[in-house]
Structure 1
Amino acid sequence: MSVNIDSRVVPPGNDDLVDAAWQLKEEINRQEGVLKQRRNFFSDAFRRSTVHCYVQEGELVGFAAVRRDGYILFLAVSPKLRGEGIGKQLIARVAADNDTITCHARTSNENALQFYEHLGFEIKRRIDDYYEDGGDAYYLKLGSDVGITDKISDLMRR
């Protein structure tokens, strides 16, 4: 990961960077057709979460919004910085605070599925019509019985 990227944590109840996160999410939505949440849903979920953020030269370039139970509501990395380790670092930050990490990913989102599977997430089940637009999802899990801290530490060494 580039040395000129700063990390920040936005605690629950705070809306710092919510507009920047919305803009990043919308950029990804326009380019890839994923992250299709409505603004009010997104903003409310952001404010209820702990949000791990990476900022480069004043611009939000990645974030993970996480519930207290380790469920990732949103994970987004700027398309221009993918492959730089930002996504792995975000997952590692979440793993430091949780015994397990779970999330949903669209069955059609090959980039996300490859990313999560590379990190050791397992598909636990498929949920038809999960998303508001009728899209299907996989429920993914990392942790508990697999030693999440060791797994993430090993991954970060690669």
Structure 2
Amino acid sequence: MSVNIDSRVVTPGSDDFVDEAWQLKETINRQEGVLKQRYDFFTDAYRRSTVHCYVQEGELIGFAAVRRDGYILFLAVSQECRGEGIGKRLVARVAEDHETITCHARTSNDNALQFYEHLGFEIKRRIDDYYEDGGDAYYLKLGSDVGITGRISELMRR
């Protein structure tokens, strides 16, 4: 990861980077057809979460919004910065504070599913009609029963 990337943590209740996160999410939505949340839902969930951010030259290039129980509400990395380990580092930051990490991913979102599988997440179940638009989701988990600490440590050494 480039030395000119700054790591920031936005605490619950803060609006820091909320507009930038919305814009990054919307760019990904236009490019890939995923991350389809409504503005009010997104901003409300963002403000209730701890958000780990990566900023490069003043621009938000990746973020993970996480609930207190380790559930990742949103994880996004700009297309230009993918493959640089930012997503992996965001998940590792979440793992520092939680024994288990869970999330949902669209069954049609191959990029997300490959990413999570590479990190060691396991699909626990499929949920039909999970999303507002009728899309199906997988519920994924990385945690004590799948060795989160060792797996994340191993990933960070690569």
Structure 2 equivalent of residue 120 of structure 1: 120
Q: Does residue 104 of structure 2 align to residue 75 of structure 1?
A: no
Normalised to the residue count of structure 1, the TM-score between the two structures is: 0.99
Cα deviation code 1:122-155 (max 9, x no counterpart): 0000000000000000000001122211110001
Question: SS of 2:45's equivalent?
Answer: helix
Q: Does residue 98 of structure 2 align to residue 93 of structure 1?
A: no
Structure 1 equivalent of residue 58 of structure 2: 58
> Between the two proteins, what is the percent identity of the paired residues?
86
Distance 1:145 1:105 in 2: 20
4+ long deviations beyond 2 Å:
none
Distance 2:122 2:32 in 1: 23
Structure 2 equivalent of residue 149 of structure 1: 149
Structure 2 equivalent of residue 140 of structure 1: 140
Q: Which amino acid aligns with 1:151?
A: R
Normalised to the residue count of structure 2, the TM-score between the two structures is: 0.99
User: Post-superposition shift, 1:39?
Assistant: 0.2
Structure 2 equivalent of residue 19 of structure 1: 19
Q: Which amino acid aligns with 1:104?
A: H
Distance 1:132 1:37 in 2: 8
Q: Which blocks of at least 5 consecutive residues in structure 1 are unaligned?
A: none
User: Post-superposition shift, 1:77?
Assistant: 0.1
Distance 1:22 1:145 in 2: 33
CA RMSD of aligned residues (A): 0.5
Structure 2 equivalent of residue 44 of structure 1: 44
Q: What number of residue pairs does the alignment pair up?
A: 158
Cα deviation code 1:61-88 (max 9, x no counterpart): 0000000000000000000000000000
User: Post-superposition shift, 1:32?
Assistant: 0.1
Distance 1:81 1:155 in 2: 18
Q: Which amino acid aligns with 1:14?
A: S
Distance 1:4 1:109 in 2: 30
User: Post-superposition shift, 1:156?
Assistant: 1.2
